[in-house]
Structure formats: structure tokens, C-alpha cells
Chain A
Amino acid sequence: MAMNNEMIKQRLTEKFGEQVTAFEESFGMLCFEAPKELNLKVLNFLYDDEQLKFRFLTDLTGVHYPGNSGRELAVVYHLHNLVDNIRLRFKVFTGISQPDVYTATGLFSAANWMERETYDFLGVNFVGHPNLKRILNVEEMDYFPLRKEFPLEDQTRIDKDDEMFGRG
């Protein structure tokens, strides 16, 4: 029988009970959350379960929500079950003061660079990662540029000397 979102939700709640939360369906894709300590357990379950078979890591990235105190950083996994052709989005949240999340590199080789990128831009510390260092930015950089406290320049600012920019 073909897999659907309702069945995935059921399997997950059977296994993890109250710990998997915030189920929603956006644009046809099932999304849910779990505590960050459980991320590997959930990923492993999704991978190993004979029905679920989410064995392809499509994407791993992070999002910064400065307003969510205690859970400012989200790590977002997009997984794909290629057999039944169904995708899902799985999130874990972590506080920004100690942004430790277990690495998924043991399960997916693809997670290696994706996690390095997430570390590089948002500063999520992937515990157990074999080579967690910056990947796109220079190694000397001492901040995480995709965090929201670094706004891009306001296009309407007037304190710049326009002559220096050929706009005088």
C-alpha cells in the first residue's frame, strides 16, 4: 500500500509518543519536530523502519529565529523515501548559547558537507562530526553570517559618501 502522510504520522507517534510534536502539512509535505537529543533516534527510525524507508537525505540546513528564546536555531532535515516517492521535513530546535546537535554523518555521508555549511553560516555545533570546520567562508571568520543579528545593508541609508560610489 502506498505510503501517505497520515501513516507516517501514525508510525512516528506509535514509536515516540508525545515526543514528536508540531505535526503539520504544508504544500503537501509532512513536517514535524522532535527534541534535539532525539534527532538521531528519529532519523534512524525513519531510515530503518520497513515501512517508512526514508533513506535519502535531500537537504540539511538551518534557520535562525532570534525571537524564540531557548530554541533560536532550527536544524531542518528534508528526507525522501524514494520507493514510495514521499518526502518529509523534520526539525530540531536548539538554544543559541549551546547549539549542540548530534551529527547525522554516521547515517548519511551526504550530511558531512551540509552540516559543515550549517555550522559555517549559523554556528550549529554538530557533535561527533568528523571534520567540523568552515566550508564556504574563510577559516579566520569569527561570526556566523546567516544569523539575523547581521542585517544586510539598508539600501536607503544616507550616511555614505555617494561620490565614492559613483553616484554623486
Chain B
Amino acid sequence: MSEHHIKLPEGSIEKTTTTLNLGPTHPATHGVMQNILELDGERIVSTEQTIGYIHRAFEKLAERRPLAQITTLTDRLNYCSSPLNNMGWHLTCEKLLGVKTPKRVDYLRVIIMELARISDHLICNSIAGVDAGAYTGFLYVMQYRELIYEIYEEVCGARLTTNIGRIGGFERNFNDIAFQKLEKFLREYPAVLREFENLFQRNRIFMDRTMGTGAISAERALNYGFTGPNLRAAGVDYDVRVHSPYSSYEDFQFNIPVGTTGDNYDRWMVREKEMWESLSIIEQAYQKVQEFKGAEADVFHADVPEYYLPPKAEVYTKMEALIYHFKIIMGETNIPAGELYNSIEAGNGELGFYLISDGGRSPYRLHFRRPCFVYYQAYEELIKGSMLSDAIMTMSSLNLIAGELDA
């Protein structure tokens, strides 16, 4: 026998299954995560998910940061809808500090949050199309996600990691261009969404790929801690916006779409319908915002001098403003002691913040309840026994965002 004979691992000749590494950098994993699949032909026998490739220790970092500086960490959780995370964090801080925000701020926040939800669902649904082999839809709707990003830009100056809003409200009032861009979006988007639906909803290939694959029952989904569209696709109408309304969501009329089978098609449909609901919420909120006239229309933050940066002109001329400015920038404000859990309905489900403050300048402990992390553990159960191509479809319809998964 030659010296160069390849040595195979013990028992590998007799083995009838194949091991396949899906990821960490596979185009269909949408982020850095790995799946070690055991395949029998094309059928999946078992899988093990490996995550943590982009873990950045946010919970540890937060323990040394003042509240305002943690907002930038939340940006990087689910980066497809950063404004939702930002708002969730501001709302948590406000609850701890006992800040009551004006109605106009609430409505503006609702507009931003629902825009973010649309952009999140849009990415997920169009990428599901890409994974089923339909690239056109994705490319087409990206133009309209761009309109949403332009609105963010007008409000906060950033597009992806937005750091939008402050504790108590927004950093600046929405300008006319922002509202014009919002109107343009509201005008143009419905037709696009309808067209996008027409591409997929009754598309034979898409239906065959998604119906009946990656299904989960309502009972199992609840046991796995599913929330958001993935839970609603299984038929449970749990939505944080309705169950524990925040930011004046109780003032709006909207439906919660639910599915029945919890499969990939239902998840896709629930997200699709939610985009319509979000559109309607934005329209209602925009109408409410327009009702504020005169001085009321200039309200864009609550009065929380200890946490909300004073206008620059005042910093240069007024002693108090200078002191607050310094204290906020240097993070020298003591946070009241307290322990709370606060959650919002983020793009993927219930995004929770468990915050413990011991009265110091930064949280004693902060834990993020990331919806992705909680439901990704069901992946093995979802794809066991199915074909490899279904696994890809399931992964994309779960809407896994590596940033949120790994925190």
C-alpha cells in the first residue's frame, strides 16, 4: 500500500450518512452561522446549529455604559430593523425613569417603528423568494426599502444602525422633507406590495416549495418560546402591541393576521399581511400627527433634562444646560435603582429588555431577550426528515438575523 494513502476516520466507510457543513459562510445562511447536517441522501437525519460567530458581548459592555450609550448596542441586534430595537430600549429606560412621553412623540415613534417593521418583513419575504429561486422580487422591492431608509436619514442622519430617538423623544423634530418622503412612501408602496404579492402568493413553484415545509404546531411553538410572526403563523394571536400596548398603540385600529399550519408559506403570508396592517397604522398615525397644530406641532420630546441633551445654543449660554450636557456626555447621571422587564413587538417577535439598576451610572445587569435566539433552537425539529432544500427555505422564512442571534 502506498505511503500516501488517504486515512479516513474510523468507521467512516461503513457510515451510510453524509455530514455536510452548511455555513458558517454559506449564501443561504444570511449571516454567519453554521449547521452541521447529517444527511441520508438528500434527507436530513439530524442537525446541530452552531452560533456565536459574531458575538460581541453586548450584555457585558452595557454594564459599563450610561443608558444613552446602550442605544448604539441595540442598533446592532436586529440590524434589519434597528429603529425598533432603539425604541424598545428608550421605552425601557423611560419606564425605569418614570418618564411620560407626549402623544405626538408616541405617534411619531409608531410611524418609525412600523416603517422599520415593514423594512424587516420586506427583507425576510423577498429573501425567501431568492432562496426559492426568484430573485426579481427582491431586487424590485429593495428600491422601496430605500424610501424607508431615506426617511430614517431625514430624522436621524443614519440608515442602517440608526441610533434613532433619545430617552424622552427624538433628537430633532421631523422636518418637512421627512413628511414629504413619508407621503411618497405611503403613496407608492401599496402598489408595489400588491405586485410583490402577485409574484409569490399564488406562484405554483413558490407554493410547492413552502407549503407543508418547516411546519410547527401552535403547542410546540409556544413551548419553544416562539413569538412574533412565527408564532402567529402557527395560529396564536399573541402580539405585544395588543397584549401590553406601549407608545400609545391602543389608539390604533389594526388586525393581527394569523396562520393555521405554521409552515413556511403561512409565515410568509403572515408577514405579508402584517405589512398591510403596518401601512394602515402609519396612515392613522400620520393623520394623528397632522392634527397637532401650532406649538403642539413642535413637541418632539418630553422634558427630561437629566437624560435628554439640551440644544447646543443653550449649552453655550446657560449654566444649567452646560451642566446637563456635560453630565449626559460623560455618563455621570445616577440611574434610579430598580428592576424591570419591558418588551416590544420587534420584527421577529418579542424583544425584551431585562434591566437591573443598583443606582449606579450604568446598569448592574442588562439582558436582551432576543426572539431569534429563542426560536432558532427549534430549527432541528422543524427540518428533521425533510429535504435539504426545505432546510434552506425554513431558515430564510424564520428570519434569522445573526446580530440578534449572537448579541
Contacts and interface: CB of A to CB of B under 8 A. Distances in A.
> Do A and B share a complex?
yes
A78 B223 contact: no
A63 interface: yes
B220 A109 contact: yes
A61 B341 CA distance: 12
A108 interface: yes
Contacts of A150: 60
B340 A58 contact: no
A61 B225 contact: no
A113 B373 contact: yes
B115 interface: no
B232 to A, nearest CB: 12
A152 B61 contact: yes
A27 B340 contact: yes
B365 A63 contact: yes
Contacts of B208: none
Interface in B197-250: 220, 222-225, 236, 238, 243-244
Nearest to B242: A85
User: Looking at chain A, what size class is its interface with the partner chain?
Assistant: 35 or more
Nearest to A120: B52
Interface stretch (B156-164, B319-327, B349-357): B349-357
A8 to B, nearest CB: 16
Contact of B369 (A58, A82, A85): A58
Interface in A1-21: none
B378 interface: yes
Interface string B26-64: 000000000000000000000000011001010111011
A108 B225 contact: yes
Given A58-B350, A58-B352, A87-B341, A152 B225 contact: no
B60 A55 contact: no
A33 B341 CA distance: 16
A59 B377 contact: no
B406 interface: yes
Interface string B91-115: 0000110000000000000000000
Interface residues of B, number: 41
Interface in B344-365: 350, 352, 354, 356, 364-365
Interface string B362-377: 0011010100011011
A137 B53 CA distance: 8
Contacts of B341: 29, 58-59, 78, 87, 89
Residue among A61, A89, A145 with the most chain B CB within 10 A?
A61
Given A26-B340, A136-B52, A146 B59 contact: yes
B407 interface: yes
Contact of B60 (A27, A57, A59, A146): A146
A82 B407 CA distance: 27
B311 interface: no
B338 interface: yes
Nearest to B243: A85
Interface of A: 26-27, 29, 31, 55-59, 61, 63-64, 76, 78, 82, 85, 87, 89, 108-110, 112-114, 117, 121, 134-138, 145-146, 150, 152, 155
19 contacts: A26-B340, A27-B342, A29-B341, A31-B339, A55-B222, A56-B225, A58-B352, A61-B354, A61-B367, A82-B236, A82-B238, A89-B341, A108-B223, A108-B225, A109-B220, A109-B224, A113-B376, A150-B60, A152-B64
Given A59-B352, A110-B377, A145-B57, 13 more contacts: A26-B340, A27-B338, A59-B354, A78-B369, A87-B341, A109-B225, A109-B378, A113-B376, A114-B225, A134-B52, A136-B407, A152-B63, A152-B64
